[in-house]
Structure 1
Amino acid sequence: MKDNQAKYPQLRFKGFTDPWEQRKLKDVTDYFNGKAHEDNVLDDGLYELITLKSVSSDGVLQSSGKHVNDATDFLQEDTLIMTLSEQNIGAVGMTTIIPTSNYYVLNQRVAELRPNSTVVAGFLTKQINKNQNYFEIRSAGTKVQNISKGNVENFTFEIPNVDEQEKIGAFFKQLDDIITLHQRKLAKLKELKQGYLQKLFPQNGSKFPQLRFSGFADAWEQRKLGGIMDVTSVKRIHQSDWTNKGVRFFRARDIVALSKREKIQDPLFISEQKYNEYSKSSGKVHVDDLLVTGVGSIGIPYLVKSTNPLYFKDGNIIWFKNNGYLDGSFLYYSFIGNSIQNYIKKTSGSGTVGTFTIMSGKKTPILIPKSYKEQQKIGAFFKQLDDTITLHQRKLEKLQELKKGYLQKMFC
């Protein structure tokens, strides 16, 4: 009885009041499997091949990087494509829309859903994608999750009249366009940062950067970090001393999360009593000190910016006691530049057993301008650039949350 009850979304455009009706995907689309093009795949060609990689995890069409020159199975404009397999790339059952015809062809791991006159593509793709649980539950396989044609066609959902679908589809297209614009801006800012890291720090054995602030012309000096500051760790603290409040306790994975501007999962602490006791022998971390991961994702730096006390896991994190010798931001951005990162990769090994040790930290080479003011200018420049990146990242996240909220309120 419940399935036959009238359905009304929480939020609607003005003028629409009729209940939504229940349909199956096979009632409103024609299903077509892709073909095996493996023997004809090229890196460049006339027609782009749609693969699992062509559909992002949030339902955006992106390049697979694969092409073919000969094809007859062209996709129609405004047709939907659906991923039939997860294969550690994205969600199974995720859809997106083909924007133009006679340009794309489909491989066998992706299906075409060709809408009929009762459904609008822009509406349908959002309705499918917001119901990913349906496809995840019904997918089968041990290593690779797959969804069958029958389960795809029997997907049941609610649908309004075509006019309301058009309004909803157009609204989300506009929102998606804004999100895409912010994603591109963010990507360009990140590319810009990488370019400046190449130009504002000396490269390939040179002691002169390609690009400099006005008034600075001297050669930079190469030193080893162990020769200008203490490189050490802290006294070991046992897991039994971890708490859920008190002084922050960092693990290597916490620093990795911070570097990605992600929230730390399951944050740890130690008591203030333990902190004071252990800091007597190890010393206390100060502003402009650098903490660097020594295990897992090695060589990820964290610049201490707050006077709030903190402690960290010995052996997993290397502590560079700056003591004001270098501008903190300059030290941090030196660490994420090619020169130091290449040194870490070369000396620390590879794979899960790779480690960055205190001894390697002491031997880490760094190029330093003679003028402390040049350090400050470089550090301040990159800090401002990172602040801009963070601002755009937050705007993007807010837009994505806004979209999520509208999907909940505008669909049954």
Structure 2
Amino acid sequence: MGEVSILEDNKRNPVKASDRVLGKTPYYGANGIQDYVKGYTHTGEHVLVAEDGANNISNYPIYYISEPSWINNHAHVITSNQNLISNLFLAYSLKNVNYLKYLVGSGRYKLNAKILKLIPVSFPSINEQKWIGNVLKKLDDLISLQQRKLDLLKQLKKGLLQKMFADKDTKQPVLRFDGFSGDWEQRKLGTYIIEYNKKTTKNNEYPVLTSSRKGIFFQKDYYDGHQVASKDNVGYNIVPYGYFTYRHMSDDNLFKFNINTLCKFGIVSTLYPVFTLNTSADKYFIYYYLNYGKEMQKFALIQKQGGSRTYMYLSKLRKLRFIVPLLIEQEKISTILLAVDNLLSLQQSKIDKLTLLKKFLLQQMFI
């Protein structure tokens, strides 16, 4: 690469966060924009390649910039020979490199300038480079647009969760549907919980499930085709479709409650209690309350009794006191939140497909 580009690392200037002057110029480090400041170190088109501190070795941080920017000393600054190769094409070409064989050190890897110059780069005619670069740039812009939409949906969900639930102090939510008024009432969660304690009687009687912070999955899907549960899963808890399960211990006071939406029956370790609700409560209202409600977070903190781990046995969970509206209002709240979650899933799916398309094009368009 040293034959088709030059390094402009000598212009870089690291500035401590406390010494930066707030402005509109992007301040770049190894992993992209860290801040916005006044002034700049570089103008024009450049390619940034992480020198050290890369947060992802398999998807190495490479950035194409075309506006005044401030670059610190954790990113190499490359300018291509425009008669041979365009900066935009070079940026996408460098995304295809396996950097692991070029990095030195252990733990905090480093890509030395001398080694960077030795990385081989292949390129077609300038016209073909421009075409490839423009196609990939448009795809990147589309991915960024879809990501912004996803971020807005996440903000919407966060706002709804904050305003559609009451607590024991307010007793009424900030945001409420027409036709509903009056205080929510305090109840024990145990009023609604129905424990389910059936267990498997033979090995692999039903699919093994993984209940995680990200949701509920078939274990083989979650672990890329592998089943990490015990080879003998006789005695595992059975989780019928539509029932709750959760890991009853936590190292950070956070508990994730999941509902089996995958299969008629699944199984989980005995560390994961299983329960359903009676008809006096809306299943998904309770789901959102347990996962996002302030009272649940406070209750979890109270359960910690020495040591670093918090235990939330079902017997303890039953004692949670929370503020709850009438069933019909519960259903309206959960319907809105489920609709937003469905939009989030669809939006994430769009981004995943576009990212997969970009990966395919990068593999096919470069030698």
Equivalent of residue 336 in structure 1, options 275, 291, 309: 291
Give the CA deviation at 1:147: 1.0
Q: d(CA) in 2 for partners of 1:179 and 1:92?
A: 16
Give the CA deviation at 1:29: 1.2
Task: State yes or no: 1:406 paired with 2:361.
Answer: yes
Give the CA deviation at 1:257: 3.8
- Work out the number of aligned pairs and report it: 358
Mapping 1:253-332, distance limit 5 Å = 254-258=211-215, 263-265=221-223, 266-267=226-227, 278=235, 285-296=239-250, 298-305=254-261, 308-315=264-271, 317-332=272-287
Letter in 1 for 2:112: S
Q: d(CA) in 1 for partners of 2:36 and 2:161?
A: 31
> Paired residue for 1:28?
4
Structure 1: which 5+ residue stretches go unaligned? 1-24, 55-62
Alpha carbons of structure 1 residues 347 and 39: separation in structure 2 relative to 1, 3 Å:
closer
Give the CA deviation at 1:99: 2.8
> Could you list the per-position Cα deviations for residues 334-393 of structure 1 after superposition, in whole angstroms to 9, with x for gaps in the alignment?
1222324422552354996343333431222332112x1111111111111111111111
> Paired residue for 2:116?
152
Structure 2: which 5+ residue stretches go unaligned? none
Q: d(CA) in 1 for partners of 2:197 and 2:21?
A: 48
Which stretch has the larger CA shift, 390-399 or 37-46? 37-46
Task: State yes or no: 1:121 paired with 2:121.
Answer: no
SS of residue in 2 equivalent to 1:311: strand
Equivalent of residue 355 in structure 1, options 293, 311, 319: 311
SS of residue in 1 equivalent to 2:215: helix
Higher helix share: 1
Q: d(CA) in 2 for partners of 1:410 and 1:142?
A: 32
Alpha carbons of structure 1 residues 408 and 274: separation in structure 2 relative to 1, 3 Å:
closer
Q: d(CA) in 1 for partners of 2:241 and 2:203?
A: 24
Task: State yes or no: 1:364 paired with 2:352.
Answer: no
Letter in 2 for 1:255: S
Task: State yes or no: 1:65 paired with 2:41.
Answer: no
CA contact (8 A) 2:25 2:70 kept: yes
SS of residue in 1 equivalent to 2:222: coil
Q: What TM-score do the two structures reach when normalised by structure 1? A: 0.77
> Paired residue for 1:397?
352
Give the CA deviation at 1:196: 0.6
Q: What TM-score do the two structures reach when normalised by structure 2? A: 0.85
SS of residue in 1 equivalent to 2:348: helix
Alpha carbons of structure 1 residues 188 and 155: separation in structure 2 relative to 1, 3 Å:
same
Task: State yes or no: 1:167 paired with 2:131.
Answer: yes
Alpha carbons of structure 1 residues 165 and 29: separation in structure 2 relative to 1, 3 Å:
same
Alpha carbons of structure 1 residues 88 and 127: separation in structure 2 relative to 1, 3 Å:
closer
Task: State yes or no: 1:51 paired with 2:5.
Answer: no
CA contact (8 A) 1:248 1:268 kept: no
SS of residue in 1 equivalent to 2:273: strand
Letter in 1 for 2:47: L
Letter in 1 for 2:243: D
Letter in 1 for 2:289: S
Give the CA deviation at 1:320: 3.3
Letter in 1 for 2:29: T
Give the CA deviation at 1:268: 6.3
Give the CA deviation at 1:311: 2.1
CA contact (8 A) 1:248 1:310 kept: yes
> Could you list the per-position Cα deviations for residues 255-284 of structure 1 after superposition, in whole angstroms to 9, with x for gaps in the alignment?
33426999511346899x977xx59xx7x5
Q: d(CA) in 2 for partners of 1:35 and 1:351?
A: 45
Letter in 2 for 1:44: L
CA contact (8 A) 2:64 2:88 kept: yes
SS of residue in 1 equivalent to 2:88: helix
> Paired residue for 1:17?
none
Task: State yes or no: 1:110 paired with 2:75.
Answer: yes
Q: d(CA) in 1 for partners of 2:324 and 2:137?
A: 49
Q: d(CA) in 2 for partners of 1:392 and 1:46?
A: 29
SS of residue in 1 equivalent to 2:63: strand
CA contact (8 A) 1:84 1:109 kept: yes
CA contact (8 A) 1:290 1:302 kept: yes
SS of residue in 2 equivalent to 1:156: coil
